[in-house]
Amino acid sequence: MSLSHLLYISYESYFLTEDDLQLIMASSLRNNQRLKLTGLLLHSRGSFMQLLEGEDENVLDMWLQLHDDPRHRDLRLLIHEPITERSFPDWAMSFRVVEPSQLPKQGFSTFLYDKDPSGRSSGAFDYLLSFRDALAAPDDPPAFE
């Protein structure tokens, strides 16, 4: 088996409340543990960006499942490529609406708030940084092209 990662963006099909986002987190944690997937899910102002990492077959299975998820629309694959190691060995999620001091110790990432990405570099990681940096301008919608 070979490792790969997949990075996509999508948009909410309908307005998601904080409770909806909590349900997404819970189901994502369950599904990703079952499939041994790791990565990062970012959400802000109706947009999602997710990096999934794991065995290629499991990554692609999850990608297909996401197409059937009614909460997503306009899914766009940005990157799917082999990797030698995981960038996010622990599954993590990050929501812009939560202040860092309010984050639970498990299941959340401070990625949206960290200014130093610890020297990581890859096309996928650069997209994630662009998404995070676009959030600094709250009046402008994030641009992914």
pLDDT at 121 over 80: no
- Whether 68 is in a domain gets the answer yes
- Whether 141 is in a domain gets the answer no
- Whether 43 is in a domain gets the answer yes
- Please give the residue range of the domain that contains residue 30: 3-134
Crossing angle of the two packed helices 18-35 and 56-67, in degrees rounded to 10: 150
Instruction: Please state the domain count of the chain.
Output: 1
d(CA 14, CA 48): 13
The answer to whether residues 18 and 97 touch, using CB atoms and an 8 Å cutoff, is yes
- The pTM of this model reads 0.66
Q: pLDDT tens, 34-87? A: 899 988 887 777 888 888 999 999 999 999 999 999 988 899 998 999 999 988
The answer to whether residues 124 and 71 touch, using CB atoms and an 8 Å cutoff, is no
CATH code of the domain containing 79: 3.30.70.100
- Whether 88 is in a domain gets the answer yes
pLDDT tier at 133, thresholds 50, 70, 90 = low
Kindly give the pairing relationship between strand 92-95 and strand 38-44: parallel
- Whether 123 is in a domain gets the answer yes
